[in-house]
Amino acid sequence: MAAQDRQNELLEEMLSQMTQMQKQRNSELMQWKQANPQLAEGCRQAAETLSKVQIEFLHSLTNEVTYNAESLSDSEFMLNEFVDRFGPRLAHLNGVLQVLAQLAGSPPASGANQS
């Protein structure tokens, strides 16, 4: 029981620290947005535009998977080619969208997957 109580105390401390760090981060972000309102608006517009681009990219990716489903599952080479072709671009696009959405203050209106 004592070990569980101690573990609960540690978890509560960790949660408190994480909450405090998140509040500080949000406060700093709000200060940045207030100091740079035009840039924050530009980030919002860019995030919305890139979100539409991301949706089109995901459409082409899913069409590619559908069209080549058998060869992707049968051939490691084809799967590697597919991942090399789509993976880095998708990862980078998601990263850029996350940054823009944070700086804009809200997620893009039509964002697909913000991982």
Q: What is the pLDDT of residues 47-71, one digit of tens each?
A: 999 999 999 999 999 999 999 999 9
Q: What is the pLDDT of residues 65-111, one digit of tens each?
A: 999 999 999 999 999 999 999 999 999 999 999 999 999 875 444 44
As a whole number of angstroms, the distance between CA 78 and CA 2 comes to 55
Neighbours of 104 (CB within 10 A): 20
The pLDDT value recorded for residue 21 is 95
Nearest to 105, CA basis, from 58, 21, 46, 55: 46
As a whole number of angstroms, the distance between CA 108 and CA 114 comes to 10
The pLDDT value recorded for residue 105 is 76
**Cβ-count burial of 70 within 10 angstroms (0-12 exposed, 13-18 middle, 19+ buried)?**
exposed
